[in-house]
């Protein structure tokens, strides 16, 4: 065994993150380790969150006990991963950091003790901080992971800058790897070329926001923008789907026409269905580092409107005509009206451009990951 890639947080659609690594490493010996509920088709060891993952019904089964039990399942998965690594002695371990929890830090330290190089994949360089969490404490905890890793892998250029400037990480410890395309086309089985084309010929345009409704996702901004844009987009509709975190709230949508808000956990089947049925997906984020949602949307060739925060232009998955000035309601209104007023032929042309971007990203990720593997274990 040459390399092990571990990502505990790969339940459901998120499991397609490891699919991209498996495809890119098809000619090398790489072992994937992920969650039991992963929808990945890649061969992998499933060690994490057998009972408590949302994708496997953990919330309904355990209620308030879910998070303590999930903590125990994280420890169990890390122990099993460690035993696999000790037994097979890989040349390196890639670990996708999913939290600041002590078991994960002890896992990293144990690998250093056994002199097994650990490459930490940084999804979010600066950790998200909830309404009741201490920012300084979370930042200090995250700093320990960066200190003890042999190398750090980032999915965008801004993350490289944050690691250098905010955390003082030397540039020669950093690797850049484009965010992989998490391809949900196999999960949209009901979608055919015919239905794809007929959807683009419908006059009414369905806009969609989907994802966990944390404040930095810009949902309130989108509601304000839709209140202004709706009168200029007769017949079009906006669906906002996802869960509002505890302690947070979204603005009132009373009196706003053709706006549906689904404040609920969106399971994998419904998630794919909502994206598949949308014409334009809107991601008005105020902050962020990477977006699995954007990757999923692009994999289906869907049109997108995104804010111009650094992670979107740097993603390589959108063009300038898809962005608006982050935090600016009127700028978002203009984009909504522009996309909602396009002819079927214009939307079809943009969708074909998205598909070309999708195919290029799959090739680019494979090339970049193979280059990192070649440095670790040169092909014989």
Tens digits of residue pLDDT in 38-81: 888 888 999 999 888 876 565 667 777 888 899 999 999 999 99
Domains 3-177 and 185-360 fall in the same CATH topology: yes
Whether pTM > 0.95 for this model: the answer is no
Whether the pLDDT of residue 317 is over 60: the answer is: yes
What pLDDT score was predicted for residue 259?
Answer: 94
Whether the pLDDT of residue 343 is over 70: the answer is: yes
Beta carbons of 49 and 77 less than 8 angstroms apart: yes
What pLDDT score was predicted for residue 209?
Answer: 97
Mean pLDDT, the chain, whole residue set: 87
What pLDDT score was predicted for residue 200?
Answer: 44
- Show Cβ contacts of residue 311 under 8 Å, excluding neighbours closer than 6 positions: 156, 158, 285, 288, 289, 290, 291
For range 236-240, the mean pLDDT: 94
What pLDDT score was predicted for residue 269?
Answer: 86
Q: What's the pLDDT band for 202 if we cut at 50, 70, 90? A: very low
> In this predicted model, which residue has the larger pLDDT, 192 or 104?
104
What pLDDT score was predicted for residue 346?
Answer: 87
pLDDT tens by residue, 322-335: 999 999 999 999 99
Q: What's the pLDDT band for 1 if we cut at 50, 70, 90? A: low
For range 84-111, the mean pLDDT: 93
What is the C-alpha to C-alpha distance for residues 114 and 111, in angstroms, rounded to an integer? 5
* Rounded-to-10 torsion of CA 253, 223, 273, 344: 120
Q: Please enumerate, as own/partner, the contacts of 361-365 that have beta carbons within 8 Å and a separation of 24 or more.
A: 361/178, 361/180, 361/181, 361/298, 361/316, 361/317, 362/20, 362/23, 362/181, 362/183, 364/178, 364/316, 365/20, 365/24, 365/177, 365/178, 365/179, 365/180, 365/181
For range 177-197, the mean pLDDT: 69
What pLDDT score was predicted for residue 131?
Answer: 62
**Percentage of the chain lying above the pLDDT 90 cut:** 47
What pLDDT score was predicted for residue 220?
Answer: 95
What pLDDT score was predicted for residue 112?
Answer: 94
Whether the pLDDT of residue 189 is over 90: the answer is: no
Q: Indicate if the alpha-carbon torsion angle 4, 161, 323, 131 is positive or negative.
A: positive
Q: What's the pLDDT band for 173 if we cut at 50, 70, 90? A: very high
The CATH homologous superfamily for domain 185-360 is Glycogen Phosphorylase B; (3.40.50.2000)
What pLDDT score was predicted for residue 193?
Answer: 40
* Residue 196: count of CB within 10 angstroms of its CB: 17
What is the C-alpha to C-alpha distance for residues 313 and 315, in angstroms, rounded to an integer? 5
pLDDT tens by residue, 148-159: 999 999 988 888
> Domain boundaries in the chain?
3-177, 185-360
Which tokens sit at 354?
């998205």
Q: How far is CA 221 from the centre of its chain?
A: 21
Whether the pLDDT of residue 124 is over 50: the answer is: yes
Whether the pLDDT of residue 7 is over 90: the answer is: yes
Whether the pLDDT of residue 309 is over 80: the answer is: yes
For range 216-244, the mean pLDDT: 93
CATH 3.40.50.2000 fits 3-177, yes or no: yes
- Show Cβ contacts of residue 351 under 8 Å, excluding neighbours closer than 6 positions: 200, 301, 302, 303
What pLDDT score was predicted for residue 57?
Answer: 62
**SS3 sequence, the chain?**
CCEEEECCCCCEHHHHHHHHHHHHCCCCCEEEEEECCECCCCCEEEEECCCCCHHHCHHHHHHHHHHHHHHHHHHHHHHHHHHHHHHHCCCEEEEECCCCCHHHHHHHHHHHHCCCCEEEEECCCCCCCCCCCCHHHHHHHHHHHHHHCCEEEECCHHHHHHHHHCCCCCHHHEEECCCCCCCCHHHCCCCCHHHHHHHHCCCCCEEEEECCCCHHHCHHHHHHHHHHHHHHCCCCEEEEEECCCCCCCCCCCCCCCCEEEEECCCCHHHHHHHHHHCCEEEECCCCCCCCHHHHHHHHCCCEEEEECCCHHHHHCCCCHHHEECCCCHHHHHHHHHHHHCCCHHHHHHHHHHHHHHHHHHHHHHHHHHHHHHHHHCCCC
Beta carbons of 240 and 259 less than 8 angstroms apart: yes
Whether the pLDDT of residue 197 is over 50: the answer is: no
Whether the pLDDT of residue 217 is over 50: the answer is: yes
Q: Please enumerate, as own/partner, the contacts of 138-147 that have beta carbons within 8 Å and a separation of 24 or more.
A: 138/100, 141/100, 141/105, 142/100, 142/167, 143/167, 144/105, 145/97, 145/100, 145/104, 145/105, 145/108, 145/120, 146/120, 146/122
What is the C-alpha to C-alpha distance for residues 116 and 27, in angstroms, rounded to an integer? 22
Q: 135 vs 128, 129, 141, CA distance in Å?
A: 8, 6, 10
Whether the pLDDT of residue 10 is over 90: the answer is: no
């Amino acid at each position: 065994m040459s390399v092990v890639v571990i990502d505990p947080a790969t339940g459901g659609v998120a499991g397609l993150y490891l699919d991209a690594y498996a495809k890119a490493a098809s000619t090398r010996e790489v072992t994937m380790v992920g969650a039991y509920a992963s929808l990945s088709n890649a061969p992998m060891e499933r060690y994490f969150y057998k009972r408590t993952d949302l994708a496997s019904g953990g919330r309904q089964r355990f209620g308030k006990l879910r998070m303590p039990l999930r903590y125990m399942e994280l420890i169990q998965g890390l122990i099993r991963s460690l035993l696999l690594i000790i037994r097979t002695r890989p040349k390196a371990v890639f670990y996708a950091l999913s939290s600041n929890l002590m078991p994960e830090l002890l896992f990293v330290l144990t690998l250093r003790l056994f002199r097994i190089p650990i490459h930490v994949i940084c999804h979010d360089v600066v950790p998200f901080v909830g309404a009741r969490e201490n920012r300084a404490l979370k930042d200090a905890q995250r700093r320990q992971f960066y200190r003890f890793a042999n190398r750090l892998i980032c999915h965008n250029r801004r993350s490289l800058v944050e690691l250098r400037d905010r955390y003082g990480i030397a540039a020669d410890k950093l690797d850049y790897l484009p965010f992989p395309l998490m391809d949900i086309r196999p999960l949209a089985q009901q979608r055919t070329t015919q239905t794809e084309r007929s959807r683009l010929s419908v006059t009414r345009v369905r806009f969609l926001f989907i994802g966990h409704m944390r404040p930095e996702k810009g949902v309130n901004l989108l509601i304000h923008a839709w209140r202004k844009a709706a009168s200029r987009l007769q017949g079009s509709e906006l669906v906002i789907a996802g869960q509002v975190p505890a302690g947070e709230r979204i603005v009132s949508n009373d009196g706003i026409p053709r706006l549906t808000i689904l404040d609920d956990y969106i399971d994998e089947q419904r998630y794919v269905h909502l994206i598949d049925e949308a014409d334009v997906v809107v991601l008005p984020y105020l902050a962020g580092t990477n977006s699995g949602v954007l990757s999923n949307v692009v994999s289906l060739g869907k049109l997108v409107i995104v804010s111009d925060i650094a992670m979107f232009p740097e993603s390589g998955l959108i063009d300038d005509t898809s962005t608006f000035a982050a935090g600016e309601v009127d700028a978002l209104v203009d984009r909504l009206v522009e996309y909602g007023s396009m002819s079927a032929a214009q939307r079809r042309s943009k969708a074909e451009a998205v598909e070309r971007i999708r195919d290029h990203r799959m090739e680019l990720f494979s090339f970049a990951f193979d280059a990192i593997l070649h440095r670790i274990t040169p092909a014989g």
